[in-house]
Amino acid sequence: MYSQDETPFLILRSFGEQIRVRVGLLGFVGLTCLTFGYLLAGQGIEWLLSSSFLPEGAEVVVLHPLEVVLLRLKIAGFFSIAVLLLVLSIDVLLRGSKVESIRESSSDLSEAFKPHFGTAILAGISMLGLSVLGIFYSFEFVVPMLLEYLTSDAQSVGLTTTWQLEAWAGFIVSLTGASVLVFQTPLVIFALLRTELVSRAAVSSRRREIWFVTVALSAFLSPPDPLSLMLIALPVIILMEGTLFIDSMFSGSRSIR
């Protein structure tokens, strides 16, 4: 048997071993995505410049010759990492108990990760769907609100708003990536609860600690200002509480408390 305290280490070890046995596949996927991401990044930058993400009165400039190249590489890198995480997650669900560290550590944990093709496909579709919601949330609410706020704040003291291309686009990409990660919260919690790696009672009893960690991680993922922190941290808490509530409704006999 395994304890609740050992579970996170076993999961991390299983992912590490999964990366080792799939290093060839992951390398090929990563390089392919990096190449296509670089090619598509140029169109993405052009779209950003022509979109409403550039507030009235603000200007974007290029300060050094390689700035566009480096920005395209950065965007391609983010795209490649996102696809690799999706591929790795689906592969772990498909291989399940074939991962040696899980099989040796606990038969219960091995059973929890039992391979299931339907589950892997459903998880992949869910991840993509939640990612789309995260992108929508970022593009429709977070990015426009923050850029407008920052522009107005600078103009209120008589400053001209001129942003470096790499910093401006990187700001948008970082916020969008953080939003995508935030919106994976329901999937992660449902997976942990349904495989019984953690219980709702355990999560509920440690709400304060989880909220603190959420705020800390959001501060790391978001730009260094209070509004960005709130816009990233608040959805995590809302999604977590909503997921726990929905899970309690589908788990008739078990109580959240």
pLDDT tens across 191-210, in order? 777 666 677 777 777 777 87
Asked whether residue 257 is assigned to any structural domain, the reply reads no
CA 220 to chain centre: 13
Asked whether residue 21 is assigned to any structural domain, the reply reads yes
pLDDT exceeds cutoff 70 at 108: no
Q: What distance in Å separates the CA atoms of residue 95 and residue 89, rounded to the nearest whole number?
A: 10
Q: What element of type H or E holds 158?
A: none
pLDDT for 17 equals: 65
Share of the chain above pLDDT 70, in %: 74
* Mean local confidence (pLDDT), 226-252: 80
Q: Which residues contact 91 (CB under 8 A, 6 or more apart)?
A: 18, 22, 25
Cα-Cα end-to-end distance for the chain = 24
Residue with tokens 């609740």: 4
Each residue of 16-71: pLDDT tens digit? 666 676 778 788 888 999 999 999 998 888 888 887 788 877 888 888 888 889 88
pLDDT for 38 equals: 92
Asked whether residue 231 is assigned to any structural domain, the reply reads yes
Token reading at 37: 């991401």
* Mean local confidence (pLDDT), 87-93: 71
One-letter amino acid of 33: C
Token reading at 196: 């019984």
Asked whether residue 162 is assigned to any structural domain, the reply reads yes
Asked whether residue 126 is assigned to any structural domain, the reply reads yes
Q: Is 186 left (phi over 0), alpha (psi -120 to 50) or beta?
A: alpha
State how many domains the chain has.
1
* Mean local confidence (pLDDT), 84-96: 70
* Mean local confidence (pLDDT), 144-165: 83
Domain that holds residue 86: 7-250
pLDDT exceeds cutoff 90 at 78: no
Angle between helices 117-137 and 185-194 (to 10 degrees): 150
pLDDT for 221 equals: 66
pLDDT for 215 equals: 77
Report whether 200 contacts 244 (CB < 8 A).
yes
Asked whether residue 69 is assigned to any structural domain, the reply reads yes
Q: What distance in Å separates the CA atoms of residue 82 and residue 76, rounded to the nearest whole number?
A: 10
Q: Is 200 exposed, middle or buried (0-12, 13-18, 19+ CB in 10 A)?
A: buried
pLDDT exceeds cutoff 50 at 90: yes
pLDDT for 92 equals: 64
**Global pTM value:** 0.74
Asked whether residue 2 is assigned to any structural domain, the reply reads no
Q: What distance in Å separates the CA atoms of residue 216 and residue 236, rounded to the nearest whole number?
A: 12
Share of the chain above pLDDT 90, in %: 5
Asked whether residue 256 is assigned to any structural domain, the reply reads no
pLDDT exceeds cutoff 90 at 176: no
Q: What element of type H or E holds 161?
A: strand 161-164
Q: What confidence category does residue 95 fall into, taking pLDDT thresholds of 50, 70 and 90?
A: low
pLDDT for 251 equals: 65
Q: Is 164 exposed, middle or buried (0-12, 13-18, 19+ CB in 10 A)?
A: middle
